[in-house]
Structure 1
Amino acid sequence: MGKILVTGATGNVGRHVVSRLTEAGLDVRAFARNPERVQADVETVRGDLTVPGTVEAALADVESVFLVWPGFTTGNASDVISVIARHARRVVYVSANVSDDGTAASHYQEIEELIRRSGLGWTFLRPGGFAVNTLGWADQIRQGVVRWPYGKASRALIHEQDIAAVAVHVLTSGGHNGASYVLSGPDELTQAEQVRVIGEVIGREVRWEELPPEEAREQLMAGWGDPAFVDSALRTWESFVTNPERATGTVEKLLGRPALTFRRWAEEHAADFS
């Protein structure tokens, strides 16, 4: 098996992809803006996906690429994918699940289409909600109340370790070319129930308080700064009230073991909420 380039190598998913591939004794190159944060026993290159020249420099002898795209727009993705296609044979791209009403951010779909047209072999991983995103409530959980919109929105949040495990499985086994895998956790929990579970794990009562969407939009704009992405996120969360994000069972089918539960994730991250 040829060398695997892992982009986003210090991110929530990428760092686990790097460690799993390394533990399996495979030839890995980590691509990161801050290579000093990559584990010491891994070949690492400093690079930025927004600078195609750094991507090209990292692709020598690379067969496969694990791709996580930064930001909320396609940006220069066309140039980067063209560079990858000149050197590598295939790409495993972390995309996103598209909700039934089509409110998932369109840049994921646009990048998928660029990859399809590139001539690369490809596999798309389409996770739904990330459990790790609930860390955004950490400060409020320490205060004992989470104020956020759409408490009845239900999702099957996925553990970042499961996304990494599926990525490594796809990168190291056959039969996945042209496949799109919708990934989820096993538990369908409302946002209010997610907060309750975190409270139970850390031994503290935490209540949910509904926040008007308009106020949430102001907060999200301050943090994200992209109106289209903020509005898309709010529409998506609203849709999960009446059309919940369902558990898919894909992780278990691919890995031969159940997906990790949200409670398991909360237990592993309890210190982040305490």
Structure 2
Amino acid sequence: MARVAVLGGHGKTGRAVCSALADRDVEARPLGRADWPDLPSAVAGCEAAYVIAPNLHPDEPAYVASALAALGRAGVGRVVYHSVASPYTPAMPHHLGKAAGEDLVRRSGLAWTILQPGAYLQNLDLTGPLDLPYSPDVPFGFLDLADLGRAAAVVLTEPGHAGATYELATRVATVGELAVEAGVPVRQVPDPGTHPWLSAMFAYYDDHGLPVGTRVLASLLDRTAA
């Protein structure tokens, strides 16, 4: 059975990737912080790796560089990097960290693919009134976590994706439109100021949203674009 290491495999993104790999009868090896001190041993015997950095990592390029070095030492020749839609966005520092990570992946010498997901649908709690620190009327390309997992499993297990960069979204909508569909009210509230990078992201979203097209995901999953 093929084996794929999933760095960051215990979070919601990693669990979605591991589940989709299991559906393809691929052994997923979820790895976390406890595995980091001896990462080359943890990834040994894996044909490929999916690399997810922790949210708002203070130095994502260093994290990615360490992961790539471990993969190289262990002889893992295939890597898929979990980036973000619109990585080079100077107004959002954590996006710039992803852009630098992408550059490292492209120059790693490994066979690489980069996935650039839109905002997760699951990040919105549409079971009740929704308070939003940015406009509910700006466009987003939203991605369902299960679709992210399926797309990751495709590029990890099928030929033809080395050297490719894919933006991923399941559907295009505003948060206001999603709230109407769910039958819940939505209002814009002040930024809570919990993290400067989040504040920068909310300000960018307020002006621009985060548009992402749906055709790439539809093609990867062999379905009609929304």
- Give your verdict on TM over 0.5: yes
Between the aligned partners of 1:181 and 1:66, the Cα distance in structure 2 is: 14
Partner of 2:131: 146
Between the aligned residues of both structures, percent identity stands at 25
Given candidates 212, 219, 225, the residue that maps to 1:253 is: 219
3-state SS of paired residue (1:162): helix
Partner of 2:70: 83
TM-score, structure 1 normalization: 0.72
Could you say if the C-alpha distance between residues 83 and 256 of structure 1 is closer, same or farther in structure 2, counting changes exceeding 3 Å? same
Q: Once the 2 structures are TM-superposed, how far is the Cα of residue 196 of structure 1 from its aligned partner?
A: 2.1
Q: How does 1:1-150 map to 2 (within 5 A)?
A: 2-32=2-32, 46-47=34-35, 51=36, 53-72=37-56, 73-75=58-60, 76-77=62-63, 78-87=65-74, 88-98=76-86, 102-104=90-92, 105-135=95-125, 141=128, 144=129, 146-150=131-135
**Contact 1:2 1:61 survives alignment (8 Å):** no
Unaligned runs of 5+ in 2: none
Q: Once the 2 structures are TM-superposed, how far is the Cα of residue 123 of structure 1 from its aligned partner?
A: 0.3
TM-score, structure 2 normalization: 0.85
The worse-fitting range, judged by mean Cα deviation, of 17-26 and 173-182 is 17-26
Between the aligned partners of 1:97 and 1:9, the Cα distance in structure 2 is: 20
Q: Deviations over 1:250-273 (max 9, x none)?
A: 1111111146x7xxxxxxxxxxxx
Between the aligned partners of 1:258 and 1:103, the Cα distance in structure 2 is: 33
3-state SS of paired residue (1:180): strand
Partner of 2:182: 198
Between the aligned partners of 2:130 and 2:20, the Cα distance in structure 1 is: 37
Q: Once the 2 structures are TM-superposed, how far is the Cα of residue 247 of structure 1 from its aligned partner?
A: 2.6
- Provide the alpha-carbon RMSD of the alignment: 2.4
